[in-house]
């Protein structure tokens, strides 16, 4: 019977199996479904009851609970697009007012041409940041570097002067000026990197 359902109703049967697993499988016990006591209604222990209540799953849709605090049941479930589901999830359903409009974060990201994950992480890492600051944030690591009268990105500068990008950032985070970063020879190890200037200073004193 299971094979027939799998072949005849592939999307719906996968959704039914996943729903039941989230609510009862031991391997999912750490998920919020089981922690919050979310259950599948008794009627939906039968796949055909589930299918008769929900109907066919449209393309690019999946099973969604309308109220995330309630169980899986005919009254609380629908086939929803990924975008609609994101708006319905607690972590994604953050509402902001910006330029006279009240929108969820995902819609703001879409309207202003920013990747949702980028905008979400800016606000998560910097809770003091306003939505305006998050949208218009300029990453200082992306600011072009002027060297010898020319403008470079960090990657271009490293390729031009044959400096490993990791070494560039090691030196950059130590507060080295750009000239010193570029003109200091690339050494074999971090130990050499740390000690070469102390050595030079000592030799200079001897002279």
Mean pLDDT split into 10-residue runs, the chain, 207 residues: 85 95 88 89 96 94 89 94 67 74 84 87 86 84 82 88 89 89 74 47 45
**Structure confidence at residue 87 (pLDDT):** 62
Domain residue ranges of the chain, discontinuous segments joined by +: 2-88, 95-135, 141-206
Secondary structure (3-state) at 16: helix
Rounded CA gap, 51 and 38, in Å? 20
What is the DSSP code (8-state) at residue 165?
A: H
Q: Is the whole model's pTM more than 0.75, yes or no? A: no
**Structure confidence at residue 204 (pLDDT):** 47
Rounded CA gap, 155 and 74, in Å? 54
**Structure confidence at residue 88 (pLDDT):** 63
Compute the residue count for the chain: 207
**Structure confidence at residue 193 (pLDDT):** 46
């Amino acid at each position: 019977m299971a094979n027939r359902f799998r072949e005849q109703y592939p999307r719906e049967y996968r959704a039914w199996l996943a729903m039941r697993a989230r609510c009862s499988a031991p391997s999912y016990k750490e998920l919020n479904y089981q922690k919050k006591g979310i259950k599948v209604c008794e009627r939906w222990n039968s796949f055909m009851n589930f299918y008769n209540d929900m109907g066919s799953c449209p393309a690019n849709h999946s099973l969604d609970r309308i109220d995330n605090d309630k169980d899986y049941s005919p009254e609380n479930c629908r086939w929803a697009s990924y975008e609609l589901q994101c708006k319905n999830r607690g972590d994604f359903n953050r509402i902001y007012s910006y330029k006279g409009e009240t929108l969820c974060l995902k819609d703001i990201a879409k309207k202003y041409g920013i990747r949702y994950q980028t905008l979400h992480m800016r606000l998560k890492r910097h809770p003091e940041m306003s939505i305006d600051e998050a949208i218009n944030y300029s990453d200082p690591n992306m600011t072009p570097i002027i060297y010898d009268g020319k403008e470079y990105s960090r990657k271009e500068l490293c390729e031009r002067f044959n400096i490993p990008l990791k070494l560039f950032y090691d030196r950059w985070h130590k507060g080295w000026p750009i000239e010193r970063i570029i003109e200091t020879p690339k050494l074999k190890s971090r130990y050499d990197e740390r000690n070469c200037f102390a050595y030079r200073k000592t030799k200079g004193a001897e002279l």
